[in-house]
Chain A
């Protein structure tokens, strides 16, 4: 599904190398987790994959299926089935949440030569998905993320994921800013989307999210590289011993 080879990335504005040769493959139906200390390049990886400006790929490749992601605009990557759940979902005053989601879904459908969804059909779809995530009508009516609590913002990200039905989901620190109940709700939302045809890449500092979203594979990232890969146990090891031991071990 997602294939990253030897990916090197530097900041566009300054001479600073962030990713120094990332190799990673996420298969359809699998959940991969990336853990790592602050500044290891986890979020940069998610931004580069989704096409955010400000980064320069100096070497390596990233493919979603047969598609070369790095050649595409962010909206084209999205239409190809890539989805990034933001660590800090953006507030957009003046744009209604429903309008936003409908515009996004129909833009994607149009890009894929599918028929656009009518307002009525869209409403039906949103209501069904929103209910599962305990998102009320008021949150749908308000401007995108404006006045949302931390938990509401993350639930709204998962709602978008549920509506857009991407092939490959990247969750960037989705647990940050969430209390235990909110984390459970968000995780249930993600788990409901787990499917043989869909891959997940879950980026997190902490093991606790992985109690709820059980990964198949865990990677440790440090200083711009994947330094260790293992099963779910690896996350527990981090939880118990911190990153220092692992980093010392691979150094």
Chain B
């Protein structure tokens, strides 16, 4: 079927001023991505997969302006021992970054990897391309074609500290396109942190290959600027007995779409993806998750919690696909919203598609208000209304936050949530 003209035009307009890197080891993948993009076209608001989230401002050629916001607190993870890699409006900042060397890891920057041969050559754009089936994710393809930078992390052991990607937003209409590739060798373990508003508009792809028996932890905090926009994709492929755990905190942001595409390809692999988001007013947050079970005895969990007020909107599209032969699959999915007023809304589309006959899959989705009985109980013990509401709100988010294994990281996230709730008390 020919692509509708409106999509052809939108895609042409978007790529018109972008230049394709034609040398080095990414050239083939980029060229391939551009031709795939032209075939599928950029998302349109009438696309089924974009029914609840309008893609217009993510697709248009110019990034809409976004003012900076200073919540008067140092960025998250500031106190932690970590290797910092800083991007300002999508541009690497060598002054603010640490030396990119750490035992048991090899770190390169995409913008500097210009040789013909590189370990990431077989991964760059490959997991993204695989993740286009059965649902197209054109913004990720756009990213593969035109990413200006990113980090390439090859984990060969158990590095002593996390790598921390820090994204600052300075210019009002900055448009950042970053593409990271992370490869964990068999039996390794690694933690990646991400934080910051990144740009007025941020398109980010992260491809993660987790080899057999390797463990990957990912904790991300998207926050701060109210007017920022982001479309992010994680594409992960998991080997046997490997573990993948990703948690995202989203606070503020006029529009955020976080897609996570996970393929369990080795037996006994475990994938947990969780998110806690808090939105007040002009806030639209979309978690779109697709987990494919294609091996024996794998476990997957999707835990998403959203706190919404003053007309904020939350979206969840989550799918578990169990392929034929993926017996003894243990799949779990929960998406819940806490609506603090009548103006806010939560739109959820949980899906299961199962082709194996010996599996345990469950999913649930709820929307609710603060539990008045619990609120009264707390108040009757002397806890003021606002504080009691915050306590119950944090309790609502707890199941998602508890997906973070590391206690210090969990405490960091909770303290940010507490600060946000205090700033946004009614």
Contact = CB atoms under 8 A, between A and B. Distances in A.
Contact of B378 (A53, A83, A104, A108): A104
Contacts of A108: 382
A52 interface: yes
Interface string B367-394: 0000111101111111111011001101
Nearest to A52: B376
Interface residues of B, number: 24
Given A53-B372, A95-B391, A95-B395, A90 B383 contact: no
Nearest to B396: A94
B399 interface: yes
A171 to B, nearest CB: 13
B395 to A, nearest CB: 3
Nearest to A82: B380
B13 to A, nearest CB: 47
Interface in A201-248: none
A94 B276 CA distance: 14
Find the residue from B388, B394, B399 having the highest chain A CB count within 10 A.
B388
A84 to B, nearest CB: 6
Given A94-B394, A94-B399, A95-B392, A103 B377 contact: no
A95 to B, nearest CB: 5
A92 interface: yes
A104 B395 contact: no
Contacts of A111: 382, 384
B100 interface: no
Contacts of A95: 391-392, 394-395
B398 interface: yes
Given A92-B374, A94-B398, A103 B391 contact: yes
Contact of A74 (B380, B387, B392, B398): B380
B377 A86 contact: yes
B377 A104 contact: no
Contacts of B387: 103, 107
B382 to A, nearest CB: 4
Nearest to A84: B380
A143 B382 CA distance: 18
B383 A107 contact: yes
A51 B378 CA distance: 12
A17 B422 CA distance: 40
Interface in A86-113: 86, 89-95, 99-101, 103-105, 107-108, 111
Contacts of B391: 95, 99-100, 103
A68 interface: no
A104 B382 CA distance: 5
A73 B383 contact: no
A44 interface: no
Contacts of A84: 380
A73 B378 contact: no
A74 B399 contact: no
Nearest to A90: B377
20 contacts: A52-B376, A73-B384, A74-B380, A89-B377, A90-B377, A92-B371, A92-B377, A92-B378, A92-B392, A93-B395, A94-B394, A94-B398, A95-B391, A95-B392, A95-B394, A100-B378, A103-B383, A103-B391, A104-B378, A107-B382
Given A75-B383, A90-B376, 20 more contacts: A52-B380, A53-B372, A73-B385, A74-B376, A75-B381, A75-B382, A78-B381, A78-B382, A83-B380, A86-B377, A90-B374, A90-B377, A92-B374, A94-B392, A94-B395, A95-B391, A95-B392, A104-B383, A107-B387, A164-B382
